[in-house]
Amino acid sequence: MRSFYYLAMLGGVAACGSGLNVEPAIVQWMEWPAEVQAATPFDVRLLTPFPACHRFVFKPAVRAVDSVVTVEPYFLVERGDPVCPPSALDVAPVPFLALDTVITAPGLAAHAFQMRATATGASGVRAFGDVTVRPSNPDPSRRNARGIVKLWVDNAGCARILAAGYPQPPRGFVLEDQTDTTGLNYAFVRGYIHEVAAPVCGQTRVFHLVTRN
């Protein structure tokens, strides 16, 4: 049984009697600040596959328990719509066209928190990275990111990663290390977006790759 059962219970209150079903959303890509101010809500960018042949309402769901922030959004989907192809929950790691949205995480106490979210090919939730909560003066220059990507090399030979869910360029991030591109097509990567002193492919805001799998 998937760990989304509790979402169905929570969403059932909203869906009951309204002709709506609850369908869990997965997170193909997530971005968030590396550092945030204590007790201050912060934005988290998500790309989530949506039920393309249904009318739906997206519902964010984010909670902070102990030292973990968990992102488990869901859709309210109208009952009786046509049957769709298999959802992204059942097909991995190929990314699906995604809804690009921003949700708000709650204000946190001043220490480090792990960021988790539902993910393609994962059972339940998966660790995406962490966020450092400062009592004051957080550094806003770096954004952490993790998810499924595609590799795109432009006509000038510059390598970029495209977050899963975008059908084609030019959206994406220039790789800071242009020589480290092996195995990046449909990989689940972790890294951060930051400013560099020397431009890479004409860009000063680039993606620093940390891991891939």
Q: Using one digit for the tens of pLDDT, what is the confidence trace for 122-157?
A: 567 999 999 999 999 999 999 999 999 999 998 999
**Do residues 129 and 115 make contact, with C-beta atoms less than 8 angstroms apart?**
yes
Report CA torsion sign: 142, 35, 191, 167. Answer: negative
10 and 102 assigned to the same domain: yes
CA neighbor of 96 nearest in space, from 166, 156, 37: 166
Domain count for the chain, please give it: 2
**Domain stop point among 140, 172, 202:** 140
**Domain stop point among 140, 168, 188:** 140
Q: Rounded to two decimals, what is the model's pTM?
A: 0.84
The encoded tokens of residue 195 equal: 């400013």
17 and 43 assigned to the same domain: yes
Q: Give CA separation, 161 vs 105, 129, 175, in Å.
A: 26, 18, 7
pLDDT tens, residue by residue, 181-197: 999 988 999 999 999 99
In angstroms, how far is the first alpha carbon of the chain from the final one?
25
